[in-house]
Structure 1
Amino acid sequence: MRRFSVIGSAVSAGFLVAALLGACGAPATPAPTSPAIPSVPPLTSAPGSSDAAPTEAPSSPATPAPTAADWQIFTTADGKLQFDHPAEWTVKDRGAEATPGGVFVEVLTAAGKSVATLRTNVATGAECPQKIPYSVFDLVPVPALVQQGVTPHFIFELRLYPAEKDPTKANVMAYGISSAPKPSGPDACPIFQFFTWPPSGASFGGVYNPLDATPGNEPNIDTPEAYLETSEYNDIRKMITSLRPAGQ
């Protein structure tokens, strides 16, 4: 079984969700209709690489695991966005929890594991209280969602909190679509996985929890590097990067 060689103990799913949404400034109150969202350069590369947009995911395995054979198209209730998902997965409508004028859906595997949520019409407000060590495991542009000249990216990334004494809170890992600025140097701001989408912002992603014990999980997947090689991750990546305006 592979172990964490860089980031220590695994992180709990509950902390990941709270940390991700808290750091990204997800609204507790209804989102304004037209919040100011800065036009920022897309996150195009991992630390130490060039600023050119990647032509392929930099961390994908040489021989990717196969994806699901059968796929279906899901269209949001407002008819504005759609994405592909494995036919055996379920898209749960959580519209009652959505911000006014927005949509909120959750994607679950056949075993009932929550792997992603899609929310629209959310107010975004990037804050950077501190810069912390980070890693980027996977990165790919999503050109179908370009807005204001900015192409968002699907990213699987980590933030390491070395001062955190609780090992279950020391590592924050998440994947999703982001329009956040490109990190530079050895440290980066907290994870900000929201992207510009009219009339405000949207999010489509999830968190990685190596301790998840949902039945049906592939064995010995206790590092993000190992997770990259799984069919589940490749299905998630294919699903999230398929997000596009409805009808395209």
Structure 2
Amino acid sequence: MNTRRTSVLSFGGAIGLAVLLGACAPAASEPVPGTTPSTSNSTTASSAPPLTPAGTTAPSPPPGATAPADTAPPAEPPTSPGWNTYTTLDGDLAFDYPENWTIRAADGAVHGGVSVEVVSDTGKPIATLRTNLVTGAECEQKSPYGVIESRPLPALAQADSTPRFVFEIRSDPSQADPQKGFSGAYGITSGPEPTGPTACPIAHFFTWPPSGAAFGGVYDPFDTTHGNPPHADTPQVYAETEEFGMIRTMITSLRPAG
């Protein structure tokens, strides 16, 4: 059952930025050039010569065409116009993304894994997808938290574990600097939902063969990058913006490419 809720617990007066999000890494390579999407608006990492180890973007074969034996199977096309589908180079995962956003290789690729970053049409880093990660995070100190949104993702279920898409925040009332006492992020997690007045630091990882993966990004209310949604300086307001709506649609569309 999809859930939209706001449960901000025990927040101090200060808000700042200190995100413990191992899922996101800054981009270090040039954008993967895209091509004109086909009539199905589906793109795969293997339909064109690979340009980076992380994957490429290219149109999928037209309906009825036979793909070469060494190509990854095309993912299902997105359900609405204006969206393309990206398939990782290993043919393992696929997700839909707005056609005016860009996918490029990112730092942090583990041997045999994927590391790509999604960037908006204004150049803002939106989210990073990484695979072959060794998951796990230490919980040295808990802090007041808020869950803005949480919904299960059955398409990514493994054994008895069904990961969730979450948008959540943390607050450190002991910090006088508002930019040091706040952290916020959205992404996919297989971790248990927090209970009680405090929670562990944000760590968005989910179980995926052979070990784990991450797909998410950072929410920064202090970010003044050109093109950001105006007046979205609280997580509750940001959750209602068109930008976050597209982020949610993109991340929750992640699925096995086969």
TM over 0.5: yes
Cα distance, 1:172 vs. partner?
A: 0.8
What SS does structure 2 have at the residue aligned with 1:140? strand
Q: Is the 8 A contact 2:149 2:166 kept in 1?
A: yes
Q: Which runs of 5+ in 2 are unaligned?
A: 1-10, 26-79
1:112 corresponds to which of 123, 127, 130: 123
State the one-letter code of the partner of 2:247: I
The alignment partner of 2:250 has SS state of helix
For 2:176, the equivalent position in structure 1 comes to 165
> For residues 176 and 167 of structure 1, what CA distance do their matches in structure 2 show?
23
Q: Which runs of 5+ in 1 are unaligned?
A: 1-5, 27-67
Report the counterpart of residue 49 of structure 1 in structure 2: none
Q: Aligned with 2:193: secondary structure?
A: coil
> Could you report, residue by residue, the CA deviation over 1:119-150 in whole angstroms, capped at 9, with x for unpaired residues?
00011122111221111000111110001211
**69 and 213 in structure 1: CA distance in 2 versus 1, 3 angstrom threshold:** farther
TM-score by length of 1: 0.73
Structure 2 length-normalised TM: 0.71
CA offsets, 1:143-193, max 9 Å, x none?
A: 100012111000000111122232211011000000001211111111121
Candidates 7, 11, 16, aligned match of 1:11:
16
Match of 2:248 among 214, 218, 237: 237
Which deviates more, 185-194 or 114-123? 185-194
Taking structure 1 as reference, are residues 205 and 7 closer, same or farther at Cα in structure 2, changes over 3 Å only?
farther
Change (3 A) 1:246 1:7: farther
- SS of equivalent to 1:240: helix
Task: Indicate the RMSD between aligned Cα atoms, in angstroms.
Answer: 2.2
1:20 is aligned to 21
- Aligned position for 1:73: 85
CA separation in 1, counterparts of 2:251 and 2:83?
A: 13
- 1:70 & 1:97 partners in 2: Cα distance? 30
More relative contact order, 1 or 2 (CA 8 Å, 6+ apart): 1
- Identity within the alignment, %: 54
Structure 1 stretches of 4+ moved >6 Å: none
Q: Is the 8 A contact 2:187 2:204 kept in 1?
A: yes
CA contact (8 A) 2:173 2:181 kept: yes
Report if aligned partners of 2:205, 2:213 keep a CA contact under 8 Å in 1. yes
Amino acid at match of 1:106: E
Q: Which has the larger radius of gyration?
A: 2
d(CA) in 2 for partners of 1:189 and 1:75? 33
Asked if residue 186 in structure 1 is aligned to residue 197 in structure 2, the reply is: yes
Which among 87, 90, 106 is matched to residue 99 of structure 2?
Answer: 87
SS in structure 2 of the partner of residue 144 of structure 1:
helix
Number of aligned residue pairs:
195
Contact 1:119 1:204 in 2 (8 A): yes
Aligned to 2:110: 99
Residue 41 of structure 1 corresponds to: none
Which of 218, 236, 247 aligns to 1:225? It is 236
Cα 1:165–1:9 shift into 2, 3 Å: closer
* Structure having the larger proportion of residues in helix: 1
SS at 2:179 equivalent: helix
